A and B are shown apart, each in its own frame.
Chain A
Amino acid sequence: MVKLNKDFYSIGKETKLFRLIEKLNSTVFKYSEFGVLVAFIVVFLFFLLFANRFATLANFRTVLMVTTELGIMTIGVTFLMVAGEFDLSVGSVFGFSILICTILANTGLNSILAFIITIIITSSIGFINGLITLKASIPSFIVTLGMQMFIRGIMLSVSSGFIISYTGDNLIPMILGREIISFISHSTLILFALLMLFSIILNKTRLGIWILATGADKESARQVGVNIYKTKMICFIIAGIMAGFAGMVNLSRFKIADVLMGQGMELEAIAATVIGGTLLTGGRGSIIGAFLGVLITGMIRSGLILLGAPTFWYRSFIGLILVIVAIINSYMMKIKRKR
């Protein structure tokens, strides 16, 4: 097959450009993070040139702060998407976890205990999402959309739409929110640790291979003995845990619970994942790529403010980048196939 393709290239196309592409093919293009890296550099250079004070420590701190929560959530979303499923409920779970933890801690409960209970609840939500999707064979898109609305409704009825301030003890806000150096908080460090951990799981372990296989072709994976139910279930639960944990980070930052928190966040997480080179259909994806996607959203957010542009341009920008990177990624897949 190799021979045939070489012939294919040699028919009047033995140009320098083609040789370059072929060389790139075997080195750079094989990484699915390539598209997002290009986008990252372009966005970074753009703001570096046009926004004053973009390359300052203060801005660096802002970007990290806004990306930490979305970043943690995106890890779970990416895992699930690589396995070929969606979770549209993570935004609601994010808000819900803040509400539960606040209510529990406000009763005088130790905030670490409240934190643990909250994470157990959010992981159960992930479990229920998985159970319904897998047992009833309904698309996870529908199941988690239902879950998103359901949870948001519960939040509204529990809080009656009011903002509840956090009056519990200071343990969790200290543990998650404190900064060790002047610009890196504990939660950012935890994010980096999680990124590394999940990247290793996805690329170097049996579970990771099974997740990739399940997302790429679940029928074939099942035939050779991969337990696709277990694999998908693990991913649903991880998505729930990560959304809840992201909520905890947010709580330790603002110390309030608002019903509208996390609305639309699930789409941002999915956008970051797709920008990061994960296939919407599953089977291929990258945690680091997804994080670069999250960083892009963070840079745009703070960069636009520094530019003095109205912040509602933020969404348009993200939308634009999403589509452009998706085009780059699909083009790369095509080149890869032709090789």
Chain B
Amino acid sequence: MSKGNIILEAKNICKFFGKVIAVNNVSFNLHYGEILGLLGDNGAGKSTLVKMIVGLFNPDSGNIYFKGKKVKFTSPAEARKEGIEIVYQNLSLIDLMNIRQNFFLGKEIDRNILGFNFLDNKKMDEECKKSMEWLGIKVRSSDEDVSLLSGGERQSICIGRSMYFGANLIVLDEPTAALSVKESKKVLEFIRNVKKEGISVVYISHNIYHSYEVCDRFLLMNHGAKLGEFVRNDITADDLISIISKGEINPDLEKYNLCHV
């Protein structure tokens, strides 16, 4: 793939928390419309790495380039403006509010009446339904409380929300954790739909089989450092599991490793 296709590039990123090295000299890139699986055991530094991409942390050293431009986000809002969205594990949905309110929270559509801005509930309702239907979810009414929805439906609201607001890059943090088998399948289907739109995805998961189903490429991390990088077709899901659990790459797989540390 040519260099012009790259949406996100991270170069030699380090992050320290006191004496702890959370992320140690990690470099990677991401193409348009590509799903990158970020794999690693607990504490491998996956979350810290993506938090730097979405602007929650700043890297202590190293640079991030987004769409060819060097970026330094100071807040998630800034990253969002550029088109980077994150769907958190806890989903950032507010149980006491309905689907529409959640969908548009922070970016409500207004209607001007006599010089005052009021919420345009009708328009928000239509837009919300349209977006959800595109993802394959029938919403009876956007007035329903999100607490009544299933895990997969909740996930789809978050993904739909990110896409609606023009994300170019969506970071998904454990989207299938705590979902039933059927629901997980649905969510993986959404992710494929997202890819079809040319949106890039960074997919963090503990479930290797789930990420193996959707990802194009895998970035493996261990103790904050990059362990290896594999294209999906070069490797099996079981190999990935064995690499992560051992923390090292089998010599016979080393030839497929895209990065040579």
Where the two chains meet, the residues of A that have a C-beta atom closer than 8 Å to any C-beta of B are 1-2, 200, 204-206, 209-210, 212-213, 216-217, 219-221, 223-226, 279, 283-284, 336-337, 339
Contact = CB atoms under 8 A, between A and B. Distances in A.
Interface stretch (B145-153, B238-246, B253-261): B145-153
B94 A283 contact: yes
A209 B119 contact: yes
The 8 closest A-B pairs by CB, nearest first: A225-B106, A216-B96, A223-B92, A220-B92, A224-B106, A283-B96, A217-B94, A216-B94
A217 B105 CA distance: 12
Nearest to B161: A224
A129 to B, nearest CB: 25
Contacts of A283: 94, 96-97
Given A2-B140, A206-B117, A223 B88 contact: yes
B91 to A, nearest CB: 8
Given A204-B119, A225-B106, A209 B92 contact: no
Interface string B71-101: 0000011001000000010111111110001
B127 interface: no
B108 interface: yes
Residue among B91, B94, B116 having the largest count of chain A Cβ atoms under 10 Å: B94
B96 A221 contact: no
A228 to B, nearest CB: 11
Contact of A225 (B101, B107, B119): B107
Interface residues of B, number: 30
Is chain A's binding surface mostly helix, strand, loop or mixed? helix
Given A212-B96, A283-B96, A225 B76 contact: yes
Nearest to B75: A225
A205 B106 contact: no
Max chain B Cβ within 10 angstroms of own Cβ: one of A204, A213, A220, A221: A220
A209 B94 contact: no
Interface string B166-183: 000000000000000000
A122 B47 CA distance: 45
Contacts of A224: 92, 105-106, 161
Contact of B106 (A226, A279, A284, A339): A226
Nearest to A333: B96
A44 to B, nearest CB: 30
B16 interface: no
A226 B93 CA distance: 13
A237 to B, nearest CB: 20
A1 B80 contact: no
14 contacts: A1-B148, A1-B153, A200-B118, A205-B116, A206-B108, A209-B101, A221-B105, A224-B161, A225-B106, A226-B105, A226-B106, A279-B96, A283-B94, A283-B97
B133 interface: no
Contact of A213 (B80, B105, B150, B161): B105
B197 interface: no
A213 B80 CA distance: 19
A206 B147 CA distance: 22
B97 A216 contact: yes
B96 A284 contact: yes
B95 A216 contact: yes
Contact of A220 (B93, B110, B119, B161): B93
Given A225-B76, A225-B107, A226-B106, A213 B148 contact: no
B20 to A, nearest CB: 24
A205 B92 contact: no
B87 to A, nearest CB: 10
A87 B182 CA distance: 47
Contacts of A223: 76, 88, 92
A217 B95 contact: yes
A205 B119 contact: yes
Nearest to A208: B119
B108 A213 contact: no
A206 B94 contact: no
Contacts of B150: 1
Contacts of B90: 219-220
Best-buried of A205, A206, A210 by chain B (most CB within 10 Å):
A206
A224 B85 CA distance: 9
Interface string B111-136: 00000111100000000000000000
B119 A206 contact: yes
Nearest to B77: A225
